[in-house]
Amino acid sequence: MSDSKLSSVPASLHEGLMPKLADAILQATNDFKRTLAQAREFAMTLPGGELVVEDQDQVLQMLTRLRDKKKEQLTQFSAQALPKRRMSMDMDSAASTPAD
């Protein structure tokens, strides 16, 4: 903003806005503090928050085993499904090949 625009605004207008801005900042700060306190309280009262590190490790290991088992099942399913799909494609191509 140029100096000419700043000087065209009366200084009394700026002085009148300062207390309002300070009040708005104070209100926003207090709201933020209350929100943080509420979030902290919610986090502390979440179900399952009482798990100790060892219990959390056990849950993670169980989930990892479950993931690995699902990956293995998907691999087996894919291996079984692909040959059937190729066979049907081979038969389709044979049927569409003109006879000599």
The string of pLDDT tens digits covering residues 13-69 is: 667 778 888 889 999 999 999 999 999 998 888 776 677 888 889 999 999 999 999
The whole model's pTM is what? Answer: 0.37
Number of Cβ within 10 Å of residue 66's Cβ equals: 10
What are the structure tokens assigned to 88, written together? 């049907």
What is the tens place of the pLDDT at every residue in 58-88?
Answer: 999 999 999 999 999 988 888 877 666 555 5
